[in-house]
Amino acid sequence: MTDLSQTNQKLYEGKAKIIYATADPEVLITYFKDDATAFNAQKKGQIAEKGMVNCKVTTHLYRLLEKQGVATHLIEQTSDREIKVKRVDIVPLEVVVRNIAAGSLCKQTSIDLGTPLSPPLVEFYYKNDDLGDPLLTRDRIAAMQITTADQLDQLVSKAQTVNTLLTNFFSDCDIILIDFKLEFGTDANGTLLLADEISPDTCRLWDKTESDPQKRVMDKDRFRQDLGNVAEGYQAVLQRIMTQVEE
């Protein structure tokens, strides 16, 4: 597999990924870095092989979702750390789905860590580092003219579908999908596509076979909370996914 990032123009560098142009203006390359940040980049570090793991995990999960009718921006994986994707205009919302209470939900409400959420929560955060990605309401989204009400309904419905499919898949991997963040974009035809990535960087994943509250964590919370064995957590997620895919 060739490393297209060596020859292609860099369009944008984010905290965990770099976007490169290709000869086709409607096609981009996403390169996954080992760099890790948390708490709006106040905490910085590296996680060994994270780029490779997240690239592979994203590819497998997006293929699984595509097979079940969820349109994504993925075209193909082109190297260990790179995927070719359709160019989209990113909707500036982080769509977060929560099955079990954790993270900011527990910090900001009276809901205890580990509380099952039925039905799952679907929340919107404004993708804006300067403002600290604030939680939005439907009315604020309308007032800011980020999406139409119809497009917002589509985002909720797609996020719920992704949640059902991924919850079942991860469960087969003996992993509990606690919560996750999605991003969407519109392609040249105005079609809404799932974009960005789905990986241990963007999901909370607990080992179903482990009850210890620290040992069960397989995702970026190991880095956020200094739990140690961060790279091992990511590798374990990849290994379980690959085993499940091959079965």
Contact positions vs ligand 5GP (CB under 6 A): 94, 96, 103-105, 133, 179-181, 201-204, 220
Q: Least distance (Å) from ligand 5GP to the CB of residue 17?
A: 10
Shorter beta-carbon distance to ligand 5GP: residue 106 or 242: 106
- The long-range contacts involving 108-113, CB below 8 angstroms and separated by at least 24 positions, are 108/135
CA distance 155 to 181: 12
* Closest separation in Å from C-beta 181 to ligand 5GP: 3
Cβ nearer to ligand 5GP, comparing 22 with 125: 125
108 vs 209, beta carbon nearer ligand 5GP = 108
Complex with ligand 5GP: residue 88 or 203, whichever CB lies closer:
203
Residue nearest to ligand 5GP (CB): 103
Minimum gap (Å) between residue 165 Cβ and ligand 5GP? 17
Residue 201 or 207: which CB sits closer to ligand 5GP? Answer: 201
Min CB(138)–ligand 5GP separation in Å: 18
Q: Please, are residues 74 and 67 in contact by the beta-carbon 8 Å criterion?
A: no
Least distance from C-beta 191 to ligand 5GP, angstroms?
24
Measured from the Cβ of residue 41, the count of other Cβ atoms closer than 10 Å reads 9
Least distance between ligand 5GP and beta carbon 25 (Å) = 27
What is residue 207's three-state secondary structure? Answer: strand
Smallest separation, CB 98 to ligand 5GP (Å):
7
Ramachandran sector of residue 221 (left: φ over 0; alpha: ψ -120 to 50; beta: rest)? alpha
Between the CA of residue 111 and those of 105, 106, 115, 212, 220, what are the distances in Å? 7, 5, 7, 20, 21
Q: Give me the phi and psi of 200, to 5 degrees please.
A: -60, -15
Between residues 103 and 229, which has the closer beta carbon with respect to ligand 5GP? 103
Query: What's the CA gap between 243 and 59, in Å, rounded?
Result: 15
Phi-psi region of 243 (alpha: psi -120 to 50; beta: other; left: phi over 0): alpha
Nearer to ligand 5GP, 22 or 206 (CB): 206
